A and B are shown apart, each in its own frame.
Chain A
Amino acid sequence: MTATEPSRIVAPRRGMSRKQRRLALIGAAGAVLCLAAGLVLFAMRDSIVFFYGPTEITEKGLQPGTRMRLGGLVETGSVSRGPGQRVTFAITDSKTTVQVSYDGLLPDLFREGQGVVTEGVLESAGRFRADSVLAKHDETYMPREVADALKKQGHWQPGDAGAQKPQR
Chain B
Amino acid sequence: MIVEIGHFALALALGVAVVQALVPLWGVSRRDAALASVGPAAAVTCFLLVAFSFLALVVSYVRSDFSVENVVANSHSAQPLIYKVTSTWGNHEGSMLLWVLILTLFGALVAVSRRSLPTRLRAGTLAAQGFVTVAFLAFVLLTSNPFRRLDPAPGEGQDLNPILQDLGLAIHPPLLYVGYVGFSITYAFAVAALIDGRIDAVWARAVRPWTLLAWVFLTLGIAMGSYWAYYELGWGGWWFWDPVENASLMPWLAGTALIHSTVVMEKRDALKVWTILLAILTFSLSLLGTFIVRSGVLTSVHSFASDPGRGLFILAILVFFVGGSLALFAWRAPLLRQGGLFAPISREGALVVNNLFIATACATVFIGTLYPLVLEMLTGDKISVGPPFFNATFVPVVVPLLLLLPIGQTLAWKRGDLLGAAQRMSAALVLAIVSGLAVVAIMRGGPVLAPLGIGLGVFLIAGSAWDIGERVVRRASGASAMLSRAIGLPRSAWGTAFAHAGVGLSVIGIAAAAWSAEGIGVLKPGESLTSGRYTVVLETVTPRKGPNFTEDVARFRVSAGDRQLKPVEAMKRVYTARAMPTTEAGIRTDGLSQVYVSLGEPQGGGIAVRVYDKPLILLIWIGAVVMAFGGALSLTDRRFRLAVPRRAATRTVIQPAE
The residues of A with any CB-CB pair to B shorter than 8 Å are: 1-2, 5, 7-10, 12-13, 18, 21-22, 24-25, 28-29, 32-33, 35-36, 39-40, 42-44, 46-52, 69, 81-82, 84-85, 104-109, 117, 119, 134-141, 143-145, 148, 166-168
Contact = CB atoms under 8 A, between A and B. Distances in A.
B506 to A, nearest CB: 22
B356 to A, nearest CB: 5
B367 interface: yes
B414 interface: yes
A150 B73 CA distance: 27
B305 A140 contact: yes
Contacts, number: 156
Contacts of A85: 520-522, 608
Contacts of B299: 117, 134, 143-145
Contacts of B593: none
Contact of B382 (A105, A119, A145): A145
A129 B495 CA distance: 50
Given A43-B393, A47-B389, A105 B364 contact: no
Interface in B558-601: 578, 580-583, 598, 600-601
B163 A137 contact: yes
A134 to B, nearest CB: 6
Given A7-B340, A32-B360, A168 B69 contact: yes
A138 B352 contact: no
A51 B303 contact: no
A117 B303 CA distance: 13
A25 B603 CA distance: 63
A82 B601 CA distance: 12
Contacts of A42: 392
A26 to B, nearest CB: 11
A43 B582 CA distance: 35
Contact of B303 (A28, A141, A166): A141
B384 A105 contact: no
Nearest to B93: A168
Interface in B355-376: 356-357, 360, 363-364, 367-368, 371
Contacts of A10: 343, 414-415
Contact of A43 (B342, B388, B583): B388
B580 A139 contact: yes
B360 A33 contact: yes
B578 A47 contact: no
Interface string B371-405: 10000000001111110110011001100000000
B393 A39 contact: yes
A144 B301 contact: no
A43 B341 contact: no
Interface in B79-118: 92-93
B515 interface: no
B396 A39 contact: yes
Contact of B386 (A22, A40, A49): A49
B640 interface: no
Residue of B393, B396, B397 with most partner-chain A CB within 10 A: B393
A57 B382 CA distance: 13
A156 to B, nearest CB: 16
A166 B305 contact: yes
A8 B340 contact: yes
Contact of A39 (B384, B388, B392): B392
B160 to A, nearest CB: 11
Contact of A135 (B235, B384, B601): B235
A2 B338 contact: yes
Contact of A108 (B383, B386, B521, B583): B583
Interface string B319-363: 000000000000000000111111110000000110011001001
A107 B305 CA distance: 17
A8 B414 CA distance: 11
B344 A108 contact: no
Contacts of B520: 85, 104-105
Interface string B299-328: 101111111000000000000000000000
A39 B341 CA distance: 31
B356 A29 contact: yes
A108 B234 contact: yes
Contacts of A106: 600-601
Nearest to B381: A50
B338 A1 contact: yes
Nearest to A136: B303
Interface in B602-642: 603-604, 608, 610
B301 A50 contact: no
Nearest to B371: A44
Contacts of A36: 360, 363-364, 393, 397
A168 B303 CA distance: 16
Contacts of A1: 338
A36 to B, nearest CB: 5
B344 A21 contact: yes
A163 to B, nearest CB: 9
Contact of B580 (A12, A109, A143): A109
A167 B393 contact: no
A119 B522 CA distance: 24
Nearest to B269: A8
Contacts of B92: 168
Nearest to B380: A148
Contacts of A82: 603-604
B431 interface: no
